[in-house]
A and B are shown apart, each in its own frame.
Chain A
Amino acid sequence: MTKRTESTDVVADAADTERPSRRRWLREHSELGVSALLLVLGVLVLTDAITMDVDLTQRGPVGPRTVPIVVGAGLLVIAALLAVDVLRGGRGEAEAGEDVDLSEPADWRTVLLLAGVFLGAAVLIEPLGFPVAGALLFWGAAFALGSRRFDRDPLIAAVLSVVAYAVFNNLLGVPLPGGPLMGVL
């Protein structure tokens, strides 16, 4: 009995030390995910090219399949080369920038919030019109990025959105949906 618990303890210990090291390995080699995505993309492009039915539509020696097949095959080769490079210790350098601080871990909350706000605007632009949806987009994005001036932020958002609407819709002739608000004004 005692021996057994001991052994399971040992196993558990081993798992404990193994898991973080495996997780660390995965984190250090997360770029393999890029390789996997390229692989999937390559398979997708190749499948699409091969299942394409070209018979009479094909004109000339190079049909609509040739380039996709070359691109798809290229994606597979690059996926493999990238995987080899990463396993050998090669790393893509994260892009630096003036406002970019790479010493801190990535702030995923902000990114997800921004993506959510953007999707929200995409959904709202047709029912509410551009001035309202655009203002919500600006305010929401500024909020997600940490601005908490509830007096100033919505005002700036509203002015920017209405001005942009007027410039694009009336001045430049790029039609944007006015929505119910512009119907009232």
Chain B
Amino acid sequence: MDALNSLLDGFGTALTPVNLLWAALGVLLGTAIGVLPGIGPAMAVALLLPVTYGLQPTGAFIMFAGIYYGAMFGGSTTSILLNTPGESAAVVAAMEGNPMAKAGRGAQALAAAAIGHFAGGMIGTTLLVALAPTVADLAVDIGAPDYFAIMVLAFIAVTSVLGSSRIRGLASLLIGLTLGLVGLDQMTGQQRLTFGSLHLADGIDVVIVAVGLFAIGEALWVAAHLRRTSGEAIPVGRPWLDGGDVKRTWKPWLRGPFIGFPFGAIPAGGAEIPTFLSYVTEKRLSKHRDEFGKGAIEGVAGPEAAASASAAGTLVSMLTLGLPTTAVAAVMLAAFQQYGIQPGPLLFEREPELVWGLIASLFVGMVLLLALNLPLAPLWAKLLRIPRPYLYAGILFFAAVGAYAVGGEAIDLVILLIIGLIGFGMRRYGLPVLPAVIGVILGPNAEQQLRRALQISDGSVTGLVNTPFSVTVYVIVALLLAWPLLRKPVAAAVRKRGQTPS
């Protein structure tokens, strides 16, 4: 039980007063961010990246993870009380939770969601403890060609699984890769896309790109279309459940995580798909199927548990392979790069204190979140009254702090604004932001791994596919690419079989 010992050590790290403070701060910030409209966990972590300049990595990641989980909790509060999901993961919660709140059962909906998140987070994190060291062990021998293959997978998955248009996803990825090219070539020192500027020779910092695309782009986009009338939150009392509710919800709480966790670990869009799948499952299994759409508590409990568990699954891929499957994971990966730490199979060997402290702090954070959210939900809902001008002015303000902190140069603020305007244009024309961010974060690394792999093989392309691992990954990539072509015949074949029974 190696993992168990490491986990106990992790608790030793997580329970020090300072790290407890960071965990508490993270879950508080996360809940607030989840409740607040217009600001998501990815933007929040991006805005907090400058703390990496002054903070120990362990404390910083404990806080970031708290934000990630906390935003899931908080997001469901807005969904239920206002019918406007704070996070994409909470869309499903609005479908049943809001009708419940309208029917005067808001307190029960909030309780079902909070306990669902708790169950999902606990089960998901337990699966993380069980699986992550094994994956890291299996992957410990992987070399340059394997790393390159994983990054290709990340690029392809993020452009073709997510979003409605592959062309627009690829356009976004290429914009990100281009931004990542700016500066000195890491292997030869050759200037690329610097146009003779000394400032650009240092490259464009990932913090500036992430903050520009997520924060400035979003604030400008909302400013252009600011809703002048915001909805009123349904007033609600303290969350509670009676025996009948618990009878209906305990199974969804336990089922949801097992749907959410695997989807979080693969690059398939984070919590959106598993929350929906969990919803459909609960609807099918429920004895109260007629209540669905009008406020069925199972439809809140299951999907919310799936959402939190998917966050744990995301951490498996990010910590063991360095593969970001969601926007938050991408920004956390940028934070790892700020510290000069390479997430991947060796992380568990080289930074055991950081990794296990982080994992243990997830359990701590879950308990804190349950304690914060069950009794305080009505208080959190008051955050919705914050005047929108302050909210978006605040986002611009902290974006400026973050960009300036990178190098202490005012010119960075101008670059930040330009990237923000790019982010604005991307939102206007339906170019997803995530591929661009992944392109900036992984692009330079992918290029290095590619060149390293080809150096070893002396330029032969076979050097990229000479390990079983890389071949497996490329097969997955090929399947992802071919999926639109395969989907129709497969669906037709399935239908045919269904039509001609016996």
Which residues does A use to contact B, with CB under 8 Å? 31, 34, 38, 41, 44-45, 48-49, 52, 54, 57-64, 66-68, 71, 74-75, 78-79, 81-82, 85, 90-95, 97-102, 104, 106-108, 110-111, 114-115, 117-119, 121-123, 125-126, 130, 134, 137-139, 141-147, 156-157, 160-161, 164, 168, 171-177
Contacts and interface: CB of A to CB of B under 8 A. Distances in A.
Nearest to A124: B410
A71 B164 CA distance: 22
A114 B396 contact: yes
**Chain A to chain B: the 10 pairs with minimum beta-carbon distance, closest first:** A92-B430, A61-B459, A98-B37, A141-B393, A122-B413, A145-B389, A147-B389, A172-B54, A173-B54, A64-B185
Contacts, number: 238
Contact of B170 (A74, A123, A139, A173): A74
Interface string B42-55: 00000000110111
B392 interface: yes
Contacts of B401: 130, 134, 164, 168, 176
A100 B221 contact: yes
Contacts of A66: 451
Contacts of A71: 174, 177-178, 181
Nearest to B221: A95
B450 interface: yes
Interface in B257-271: none
A82 B431 CA distance: 11
A108 B85 CA distance: 27
B170 A142 contact: no
Nearest to B184: A64
B226 A147 contact: no
B188 A64 contact: yes
A49 B224 CA distance: 37
B480 interface: no
A40 to B, nearest CB: 11
Contacts of A101: 225-228
Contacts of A137: 393, 396-397, 400
Contact of A45 (B55, B178, B431): B178
B417 A118 contact: yes
Contact of B53 (A38, A74, A82, A174): A174
Give the one of B387, B424, B425 with max A CB within 10 A.
Answer: B387
Contacts of A176: 401, 404-405, 408
Interface residues of B, number: 78
Contacts of B216: 118
A125 B413 contact: yes
A78 B170 contact: yes
Interface stretch (B189-197, B299-307, B333-341, B354-362): B189-197
9 contacts: A52-B192, A64-B187, A93-B164, A106-B428, A139-B393, A172-B51, A174-B53, A174-B405, A176-B408
Interface of B: 37-38, 50-51, 53-55, 78, 84-86, 164-165, 167-168, 170-171, 174-175, 177-178, 181, 185, 187-193, 216, 218-228, 230, 387-390, 392-394, 396-398, 400-401, 404-405, 408, 410-411, 413-414, 417, 421, 424-425, 427-431, 447, 450-451, 454-455, 458-459
A142 B219 CA distance: 12
B225 A145 contact: no
A130 to B, nearest CB: 7
Contact of B188 (A63, A121, A146): A63
Given A118-B417, A172-B54, A98 B38 contact: yes
Contacts of A125: 400, 404, 410, 413
B290 to A, nearest CB: 30
A145 B227 CA distance: 11
A142 B389 contact: yes
Give the one of B167, B227, B430, B455 with max A CB within 10 A.
Answer: B167
Contacts of B389: 141-143, 145-147
Contact of B225 (A31, A104, A164): A104
B126 to A, nearest CB: 33
